[in-house]
Structure 1
Amino acid sequence: MKTPLKALLCAGMLLALVSQPSASRAASPSWLSVGGPAPGITPAQPAATVQWSTDLADPAHPRFVLNTLAMRVTPVQTRGGEFLMIDWPDSARSGDVGAPAIPVRRELLVVPQSATVCLRVIAENPIVADASWFGGAWRAMPVQRPVEKLPGARKSAPFDFDAAAYATDADLPAERAVLTDVGIFRGQRLMLLETRPVAYNPVAQKLTVWPQISVEVDFGHGAAFEPLDDVSSWLADGTANGRSLTRGQTGTGDIFMVVASAYASAITPFINAKPPQGYSLTSWTAAPGTTAAAIKTQIQNRYADPLIRPEYVLLVGDTDTIPYWTGGGEGYPQTDLNYVCMDGTSDWLPDIALGRFPVRSATQLQAMIDKTLYVENQQFADPGYLARAVFMASEDNYDITEGTHNWTITNYMEPSNIDSDMLYSHTYNATTQQVRNAFNAGRIFGIYSGHGSETSWADGPPFSQSDVNGLLNANMYPLVCSFACLTGNYVLTECFAETWVRAPSKGAAAIWASTVNSYWDEDDVLQRKLFIVLYDDYLREVGPAFNATKLRYLTQMGSGSTTRRYFEMYNLMGDPTLAIPEAQAALRVSPSGSLSAEGPLGGPFVPAEATYLLRNVADYAISYGITLEPPVDWLTVETSPISVLPGGTSVEARFIIDEDAQSLLPGVYVTNVHFDNLTDGIGDSTRQVVLQIGRHVFPSPDVPKPINDYSTITSRTVVTRRFCIADVNVDLNLTHTYVGDLLVTLTSPQGTVVTLHNRSGGGADNLVLTYDDEGSAPDGPGTLAAFDNQRPTGTWTLTVSDQAGADTGTLNSWTLRILPGGAACTPWPVGDMNCDGAANILDINAFVLAIGDPFAFAVTWPDCDLISGDLNGDGEVNILDINPFIDLVAGG
Structure 2
Amino acid sequence: MKIEFKTSMLLILLIALSVGLQAQQAYRLMQNDSEKIELRLNSTTLTSVEVKTDAGYFSRLVMDQFHSSVQVGDPELPTLVKLVEIPLCDDIELHVTPGDFVIYDAADLNISYPVFPAQPSYEKSYDGPIDLIKNTQTYQQDQFFAATPLVTVNPIGQMRDQNLAELTFSPVSYNPVTQQLKVYQSVDVEIRFVNSRPSETAAMKRVYHTPMMSVPKSLLVNPAEPQRAEWNHNPIKMVIVSHPMFETQLAPFIEWKKRKGFIVDLALTNNPSVGSTTTTIKNYLKALYDNATETNPAPTFVLFVGDVAQVPTFSGTEGSHVTDLYYVTFTTGDHLPDAYYGRFSATNASELAPQLEKTLMYEMYTMPDPSYLDDAVLVAGYDSNWSPTHANGQVNYLANNYINTGYGYSNIYKHLHPCSAQAALIRQQIGNGVGYANYSAHCGPTGWGDPSFENHHVPAMNNEGKYGLIIGNCCQSGMFDNS
TM-score by length of 1: 0.48
Contact 2:236/2:300, CA 8 A, preserved across alignment: yes
The correspondence for 1:210, drawn from 181, 184, 200, is 184
Name 2:387's counterpart in structure 1: 398
Q: 1:144: how far off?
A: 1.1
**More deviation in 352-361 or 160-169?**
160-169
The correspondence for 1:434, drawn from 425, 429, 432, is 425
Name 2:324's counterpart in structure 1: 336
Q: 1:464: how far off?
A: 1.2
Contact 1:73/1:86, CA 8 A, preserved across alignment: yes
1:317 aligns with 2:317: no
Name 1:280's counterpart in structure 2: 263
Contact 2:14/2:48, CA 8 A, preserved across alignment: yes
**More deviation in 189-198 or 58-67?**
58-67
Q: 1:395: how far off?
A: 4.0
Contact 2:28/2:41, CA 8 A, preserved across alignment: no
Change (3 A) 1:217 1:165: same
The correspondence for 2:447, drawn from 417, 436, 456, is 456
Contact 1:121/1:214, CA 8 A, preserved across alignment: yes
Distance 2:84 2:252 in 1: 42
Change (3 A) 1:135 1:242: closer
Name 2:413's counterpart in structure 1: 422
Distance 2:309 2:163 in 1: 35
Structure 2 residue matching 1:274: 3-state secondary structure = helix
Letter in 2 for 1:321: Q
Matched ranges for 1:571-582 at <5 A: none
Distance 2:344 2:445 in 1: 18
Q: 1:284: how far off?
A: 1.4
Change (3 A) 1:264 1:380: closer
Change (3 A) 1:163 1:35: closer
1:296 aligns with 2:287: no
Name 2:57's counterpart in structure 1: 82
Letter in 2 for 1:230: T
Distance 2:161 2:254 in 1: 28
Distance 1:395 1:222 in 2: 51
The correspondence for 1:230, drawn from 197, 210, 213, is 210
Change (3 A) 1:279 1:182: same
The correspondence for 2:369, drawn from 369, 372, 382, is 382
Letter in 2 for 1:212: S
Change (3 A) 1:193 1:292: same
Structure 2 residue matching 1:216: 3-state secondary structure = strand
Q: Which string of whole-angstrom CA distances, capped at 9 and with x for unpartnered residues, describes residues 612-655 of structure 1? A: xxxxxxxxxxxxxxxxxxxxxxxxxxxxxxxxxxxxxxxxxxxx
Contact 1:182/1:191, CA 8 A, preserved across alignment: yes
Change (3 A) 1:176 1:223: farther
Name 1:264's counterpart in structure 2: 247
The correspondence for 2:343, drawn from 356, 360, 365, is 356
Distance 1:257 1:437 in 2: 35
Distance 1:476 1:444 in 2: 8
Distance 1:55 1:245 in 2: 16
Distance 2:107 2:60 in 1: 17
Distance 1:22 1:349 in 2: 36
1:373 aligns with 2:348: no
Change (3 A) 1:393 1:151: farther
Q: Which string of whole-angstrom CA distances, capped at 9 and with x for unpartnered residues, describes residues 219-277 of structure 1? A: 36754243361157633624221233742643331111110233233323322332112
Change (3 A) 1:214 1:347: same
Q: 1:104: how far off?
A: 1.2
Distance 2:259 2:176 in 1: 64
Letter in 1 for 2:424: Q
Distance 2:423 2:335 in 1: 38
Q: 1:149: how far off?
A: 2.5
Structure 2 residue matching 1:413: 3-state secondary structure = coil
Letter in 2 for 1:217: I
Name 1:774's counterpart in structure 2: none
Q: Which string of whole-angstrom CA distances, capped at 9 and with x for unpartnered residues, describes residues 3-33 of structure 1? A: xxxxxxxxxxxxxxxxxx9832245865463
Distance 1:319 1:167 in 2: 54
Distance 1:115 1:438 in 2: 56
Matched ranges for 1:716-795 at <5 A: none
1:158 aligns with 2:134: no
Letter in 2 for 1:462: S
Name 2:316's counterpart in structure 1: 327
Change (3 A) 1:321 1:32: same
Name 1:106's counterpart in structure 2: 81
Q: Which has the larger radius of gyration?
A: 1
Q: 1:197: how far off?
A: 1.8
Matched ranges for 1:140-155 at <5 A: 140-150=115-125
Distance 2:236 2:454 in 1: 37
Distance 2:413 2:380 in 1: 8
Distance 1:300 1:363 in 2: 31
Q: 1:481: how far off?
A: 1.1
Distance 1:245 1:185 in 2: 20
Change (3 A) 1:218 1:172: same
Q: 1:417: how far off?
A: 2.1
Name 1:808's counterpart in structure 2: none
1:251 aligns with 2:243: no
What residue ranges of structure 1 are gaps of 5+ in the alignment?
A: 1-20, 40-47, 494-892
Contact 2:58/2:113, CA 8 A, preserved across alignment: yes
Contact 1:31/1:72, CA 8 A, preserved across alignment: yes
Structure 1 residue matching 2:4: 3-state secondary structure = coil
1:492 aligns with 2:482: yes
Q: Which string of whole-angstrom CA distances, capped at 9 and with x for unpartnered residues, describes residues 297-349 of structure 1? A: 11111111123421110000112222221223x556421111111123x5210
Name 1:347's counterpart in structure 2: 334
Name 1:605's counterpart in structure 2: none
Matched ranges for 1:66-77 at <5 A: 66-77=41-52
Contact 1:113/1:188, CA 8 A, preserved across alignment: no
Identity %: 24
Distance 1:411 1:136 in 2: 32
Distance 2:5 2:248 in 1: 58
Q: 1:89: how far off?
A: 4.9
Letter in 1 for 2:429: A
1:92 aligns with 2:67: yes
Structure 1 residue matching 2:443: 3-state secondary structure = coil
Q: 1:477: how far off?
A: 1.0
TM-score by length of 2: 0.85
Contact 1:84/1:141, CA 8 A, preserved across alignment: yes
Q: Which string of whole-angstrom CA distances, capped at 9 and with x for unpartnered residues, describes residues 443-491 of structure 1? A: 11110012222222121x2111111233221222111111123232222
Q: 1:198: how far off?
A: 0.9
Distance 2:392 2:148 in 1: 38
Name 1:482's counterpart in structure 2: 472
**More deviation in 443-452 or 95-104?**
95-104
Q: Which string of whole-angstrom CA distances, capped at 9 and with x for unpartnered residues, describes residues 396-446 of structure 1? A: 443221221111111112231223533426456763332233223321111
Letter in 2 for 1:147: Y
Distance 2:154 2:320 in 1: 23
Contact 2:45/2:64, CA 8 A, preserved across alignment: no
**Which structure exhibits the higher relative contact order, with contacts defined as CA atoms closer than 8 Å and separated by 6 or more residues?**
2
Q: Give the count of matched residue pairs.
A: 458
Q: Which string of whole-angstrom CA distances, capped at 9 and with x for unpartnered residues, describes residues 365-386 of structure 1? A: 1111111111111233222222
Contact 1:393/1:448, CA 8 A, preserved across alignment: yes
Letter in 2 for 1:313: V
